[in-house]
Structure 1
Amino acid sequence: MSQGNRTAIGFDEGVAPEASWFNDLTRKRSAGPVSPHNRVLPRNTSPDTLAVHAGTYEDPTTGSVGTPIFQSSTFLLDDTSYTAFSDGTLRDVPIYTRYGNPSQWSAQEKVASLEGAESGLVTASGMSAIANTVYALTNAGSHVISAYDVYGGTYNLLREDLPSAGRTVSFVDPMDISAIEAAVRPETQLLLFESLTNPMLKAPNIRALVRIAKEANALLAIDNTFLTPINMKPLDLGVDIVIHSATKYLGGHSDLTAGAVVGRRKYLDRIWAQTLRFGGTLDPFCCFLLERGMKTLSLRVKKQNENATAIAQALAGHPHVRNIFHPVAGGSQYTSLDTTDYGGFGGMVSFEVDGGDDAAEKFMRRLRIPYVATSLGGVESLVSMPSNTSHSSLTEKQLSSVGINPGLVRYSAGIEDSQDLIDDLFNALEGREKQ
Structure 2
Amino acid sequence: MLEEGRTALGFTPDEDEVAWFNDLNRRRTSGPRSPQNRTFDGTAGEATLAVHSGTYEDPITGSVGTPIFQTSTFHLDETSYRAFSIGATRDVPIYTRYGNPSQWSVQEKIAALEAAESALVTSSGMSAIAATVYALTNNGSHIITAYDVYGGTYNLMREDMPSAGREVTFVDATNTAEIVGAMRPETQLIFIEGLTNPLLKAPPLREIARIARQNNALLVVDNTLLSPVNMRPLALGADLVVHSATKYLNGHSDLTAGCVVGSRKFLDRVWAQTLRFGGSLEPLSCFLLERGIKTLPLRMRAQNANANGIAAFLGQHEQVKHVHHPSLANYPYGQLENEVHSGYGGMVSFEVHGGDKAALKLMQHLKIPYTATSLGGVESLVSMPANTSHSSLTEIQRAAIGIHPGLIRYSAGIEDLTDLIDDLRQSLDAL
Quickly name the TM-score band, shorter chain normalised: over 0.9
Partner residue, 2:82: 83
Partner residue, 1:22: none
Cα deviation, 1:200-221, whole Å, max 9, x if unaligned, reads 1001111001101001101000
> Structure 1 unaligned runs (5+)?
18-24
Partner residue, 1:189: 188
* SS in structure 2 of the partner of residue 409 of structure 1: strand
Partner residue, 2:126: 127
Cα deviation, 1:235-270, whole Å, max 9, x if unaligned, reads 111110000000000000001000010000000000
* SS in structure 2 of the partner of residue 31 of structure 1: coil
| Alpha-carbon distance in structure 1 between the residues aligned to 2:29 and 2:400 | 45
| Alpha-carbon distance in structure 2 between the residues aligned to 1:397 and 1:310 | 32
| Alpha-carbon distance in structure 1 between the residues aligned to 2:118 and 2:25 | 17
Structure 1-normalised TM-score?
Answer: 0.95
Matched, 1:71 2:77: no
> Structure 2 unaligned runs (5+)?
none
**Contact 2:107–2:121 (CA<8 Å) still a contact in 1?**
yes
Cα separation, partners in 2 of 1:338 and 1:196, compared to 1, 3 Å: closer
Cα separation, partners in 2 of 1:157 and 1:8, compared to 1, 3 Å: farther
Matched, 1:104 2:103: yes
Cα separation, partners in 2 of 1:13 and 1:283, compared to 1, 3 Å: closer
Task: Summarize the alignment of residues 217-236 of structure 1 with structure 2, pairs less than 5 Å apart.
Answer: 217-236=216-235
Cα deviation, 1:12-60, whole Å, max 9, x if unaligned, reads 344578xxxxxxx730100000011011111342111100000000000
* SS in structure 2 of the partner of residue 179 of structure 1: helix
Cα separation, partners in 2 of 1:332 and 1:299, compared to 1, 3 Å: closer
Partner residue, 1:20: none
Partner residue, 1:205: 204
* SS in structure 1 of the partner of residue 335 of structure 2: coil
Partner residue, 1:359: 358
| Alpha-carbon distance in structure 2 between the residues aligned to 1:369 and 1:348 | 16
Cα separation, partners in 2 of 1:378 and 1:9, compared to 1, 3 Å: farther
* SS in structure 2 of the partner of residue 271 of structure 1: helix
Partner residue, 1:379: 378
Equivalent position amino acid for 2:286 in 1:
C
Partner residue, 1:154: 153
* SS in structure 2 of the partner of residue 191 of structure 1: strand
Deviation, structure 1 residue 330: 6.3
* SS in structure 2 of the partner of residue 360 of structure 1: helix
Cα deviation, 1:173-230, whole Å, max 9, x if unaligned, reads 1110111111100000000000000111001111001101001101000000011010
Equivalent position amino acid for 2:84 in 1:
F
* SS in structure 2 of the partner of residue 352 of structure 1: strand
* SS in structure 2 of the partner of residue 162 of structure 1: helix
Deviation, structure 1 residue 401: 0.9
| Alpha-carbon distance in structure 2 between the residues aligned to 1:44 and 1:203 | 29
Cα deviation, 1:301-349, whole Å, max 9, x if unaligned, reads 0110000000000100311111110001262524x33512212100000
* SS in structure 2 of the partner of residue 261 of structure 1: strand
Partner residue, 1:339: 337
Cα deviation, 1:107-158, whole Å, max 9, x if unaligned, reads 1000000000000000000000000000000000001111100000100000
Partner residue, 1:5: 6
Cα separation, partners in 2 of 1:64 and 1:15, compared to 1, 3 Å: closer
Equivalent position amino acid for 1:26 in 2:
N
Cα separation, partners in 2 of 1:367 and 1:356, compared to 1, 3 Å: same
Cα separation, partners in 2 of 1:302 and 1:355, compared to 1, 3 Å: same
Deviation, structure 1 residue 396: 1.3
Task: Summarize the alignment of residues 19-418 of structure 1 with structure 2, pairs less than 5 Å apart.
Answer: 26-329=25-328, 331-334=330-333, 336-342=334-340, 343-418=342-417
| Alpha-carbon distance in structure 2 between the residues aligned to 1:206 and 1:392 | 28
Cα separation, partners in 2 of 1:121 and 1:2, compared to 1, 3 Å: farther
| Alpha-carbon distance in structure 2 between the residues aligned to 1:338 and 1:361 | 31
Question: Aligned-residue CA RMSD in angstroms?
Answer: 1.5
Cα separation, partners in 2 of 1:299 and 1:2, compared to 1, 3 Å: farther
Equivalent position amino acid for 2:335 in 1:
L
Equivalent position amino acid for 1:340 in 2:
N
Deviation, structure 1 residue 391: 1.3
Cα deviation, 1:378-404, whole Å, max 9, x if unaligned, reads 000000111111111111111111111
**Contact 1:222–1:241 (CA<8 Å) still a contact in 2?**
yes
More displaced stretch, 340-349 vs 154-163? 340-349
